[in-house]
Structure 1
Amino acid sequence: MTTKETVDLGEFQFESGETIPNLEIAYETYGDFTGDNAVLICHALTGSAHVARRPDAGTETAGQARAWWGDVVGPGKAIDTSEYFVVCANVPGSCYGTTGPSSTNPETGEPYGTDFPPVTIGDWTRAQRRLLDELGVGRIHAVVGGSVGGMNVLDWLRRFPDDVERAAGVATAARLDAQCLALDTIARRAITGDPNWNGGHYYGGPEPEEGLARARQIGHVMYLSKASMARKFGRRSAGREAVRDEPTDPAGAFFPYREVESYLDYQAEKFTDRFDANSYLYLTRAMDDFDLSAGYESDADALAAFEGELLLLSFTGDWHFTVEQAEAVAEAGRVADVDVAHHVVESDHGHDAFLVEPEKVGPPLSELLATGLEGRMISDTEPESDADESFAPVHTSLFSR
């Protein structure tokens, strides 16, 4: 049993203090609710509620051509929708059905544009809590999310610690580092520097597609690793059949159009067809602003009220959300006496690993939901001699059935 719905939560006050009269949340559910089997999945930056494949989805759902975690969530899969009641909600500020900058402001009859209130990850969490209330879900069996969705998970643990039994943060961190903040800044400047951006009020006219395209290209470079880019593209020419619309500059026609350029152009074109530039501004700012320790003395203090189990998954080739950052969250959990495990996956796919390697992501999530973390702190390999014994990389073989 699956549903695809939109619910009006009524008036909503954002953490900024600004209020909108109606917050509509687009969400999808999979499976049947039995009272104690709800699993909330938090999507990544430009994801939607369409987390799993649906028999009625056709070729496109919520602007996305395919389910973004369809190999992890579904009947008989790691997050088994024949056993769990899975809920995934599109976050406020997005453009996939939930109220955001492209939505109509009922007070003016025009799209909000940049008159939409600033959005935080805390706003996402509070909106999800209200949605679950509407669905009759109280305490949730687990909350799972990747990338900024993992930050959303951590926010659940500090904001509603009594409402969560188990949690998994995949390829995530307590906050972004300065390098990622800098790259996000450049991406946003690409959008706001586009002449068509018009202060965010471009609806009904030319859209800032060039700026959004450059922003997405920066994002894609962040999601890949050096090894994966070398393997995918190297320095190869894209070939004569792959010709860019026009050279970037007059001298550019003399030089080869490389495969890596062709890939970035293709990804940018696909993205500008499906996503809103203002939403990209709003959601990246929400991610950049998140700091687990905000309002607390430390990350450990922020997690101290959570009495459930927390699993962190990180990937060795991910420089966007690093292994070290995940371990810092795990260590904060240990200091706070949280039952926590850190599962390190050997991968050279970069940040995209949590999406493109379901065979490595699925098993630990399946075990977490079924049996919790018992025994998961033991590694099947010896840690490096200079490593802390409590941080032994845990390999997928431990989670094999």
Structure 2
Amino acid sequence: MTSVESGTRSLGEFTFECGESIGDLEVAYEAYGDFEPQGEGSNAVLVCHALTGSQNVASEGVPGTSGQARAWWNDIVGPGKAIDTTKYYVVCANVPGSCYGSSGPPAENPKTGEPWGTDFPPVTVGDWTRAQRRLLDELGVGRLHAVVGGSAGGMNVLDWAVQYPDDVARIVPVAAAARLDAQCLALDAIARRAITSDDDWQGGDYYGAAKPTDGLALARQVGHVMYLSKTSMGERFGRRAAGRDAVRSFPADRAAGYFPYREVESYLDYQAEKFVDRFDPNSYLYLTRAMDDYDLSEGYEGDADALAAYEGEALLMSFTGDWHFTVAQSESLAEACREASVPVAHHVVGSDHGHDAFLVEPEKVGPPLRDFLADGLAGRAVHDTAEEADGDEETEFAPVHNSLFGG
């Protein structure tokens, strides 16, 4: 087992992009392995967690939070794994606004001794990046070997290339995009409305009282549907009714007794029940707003202009069944990299698992990631395919490996 450090660092006064400040920003983190400066760089790899993830990216015997937040990428990060903690010094920090130890709505406001609630300043992806930079300074880490992250964490990765283009040699945005499209913005808005419409939300001042669990549960169910593909839902649930022992999480509507309680409903209720036990409703509001607001090109003429100062390499990974962050969005981002003269590979993975593929299919994510971290774009698995995805040998992005479809 490699060495593991788990704790919270106080980073002093922090001014958010909204202009508001707090006197002492605390960031919870975990670090795995041993830090080794290497010339002008280091062996340090920053992993950026997804929307409701935590700093506990790999278990390695470290007590952590429950549910998916605990060891959420344990099949990717660890000794001998794609992000090898015997080779790299791996850091994952809980972002400001979350509820796993970093400053956020459920944390104590030192001026009042009560939870911040909605008095906590609005946060952005840019705030996440600057907080991570401050934490790494505290840990003695300068230039990073790589920054890796999926989903909202992939946006965080892109922001590193814009804010600190000289501080990272390689970036890996996984299942991410330069911005959310209108459909995903709409679904996030419905999820937030579910929380704020819950009578127990009380304008965000519910701490010490009943938590708005019904609203948070519905928000999670809306989000979870976005993470699955139509194919995977059809194969897993179809139209089948749930078993006799299935339990409804919510009061049934008047007509429910006549109609079947389906497996897909039971699954969503189960996921919601797990989620409300581990996550804070206000944090969900804050973090979805941060993700929705992110736009790589903000302040620039376009995506390529935003990436123009970055001189490292990029590996983009997308999944064919992901309609939350699509292959087309990743390819658009890859084209922006090419226009900005950023060396890039776009590795498309054939998968029916939807957006969750980057979490549940480590055997497909691991090889290209491992090779890219070790050898950059020269890594064999970054480009290794049995045949071109479209039959065109001039394809500019890493095509789909036919074995990913069982071939």
TM-score by length of 1: 0.95
| Post-superposition offset of 1:11 | 0.6
Residues 1:159 and 2:170 are matched in the alignment: no
Report the identity percentage.
71
| Post-superposition offset of 1:243 | 3.0
One-letter amino acid of the structure 2 residue matched with residue 15 of structure 1? E
Distance 2:151 2:254 in 1: 39
| Post-superposition offset of 1:198 | 0.7
1:44 alignment partner in structure 2: 50
2:132 alignment partner in structure 1: 128
Residues matched between the structures, number: 396
One-letter amino acid of the structure 2 residue matched with residue 133 of structure 1? D
Q: Deviations over 1:62-97 (max 9, x none)?
A: 775730000000001010000000000000000000
What is the aligned counterpart of 2:9 among 1, 7, 10?
A: 7
Q: Deviations over 1:1-60 (max 9, x none)?
A: 001010000110000000001110000000000111000000000000000112242xx4
Distance 2:67 2:396 in 1: 43
Residues 1:95 and 2:93 are matched in the alignment: no
Residues 1:176 and 2:162 are matched in the alignment: no
CA 1:71/1:378 → structure 2, altered by over 3 Å: closer, same or farther? closer
- State whether residues 56 and 72 of structure 2, in contact with CA within 8 Å, keep that contact through their aligned partners in structure 1: yes
TM-score by length of 2: 0.94
Matches within 5 A, 1:1-400: 1-35=3-37, 36-57=42-63, 60-61=64-65, 66-244=70-248, 247-374=251-378, 376=382, 379-384=385-390, 389-391=395-397, 393-395=399-401
Q: Deviations over 1:194-246 (max 9, x none)?
A: 11111111111111111000000001100000110011111111111113256
Distance 1:268 1:63 in 2: 11
Distance 1:258 1:249 in 2: 14
| Post-superposition offset of 1:392 | 5.2
Provide the aligned C-alpha RMSD in A.
1.8
Q: Deviations over 1:72-126 (max 9, x none)?
A: 0000101000000000000000000000001111111111111110000000000
- State whether residues 293 and 301 of structure 1, in contact with CA within 8 Å, keep that contact through their aligned partners in structure 2: yes
CA 1:392/1:66 → structure 2, altered by over 3 Å: closer, same or farther? closer
CA 1:27/1:161 → structure 2, altered by over 3 Å: closer, same or farther? same
Distance 2:96 2:247 in 1: 38
Distance 1:350 1:158 in 2: 28
Distance 1:189 1:247 in 2: 19
The unaligned stretches of length 5 or more in structure 2 are none
Q: Deviations over 1:312-369 (max 9, x none)?
A: 0000000000000000110000000001000000000000000000000011110011
CA 1:305/1:65 → structure 2, altered by over 3 Å: closer, same or farther? closer
One-letter amino acid of the structure 2 residue matched with residue 4 of structure 1? S
CA 1:28/1:302 → structure 2, altered by over 3 Å: closer, same or farther? same
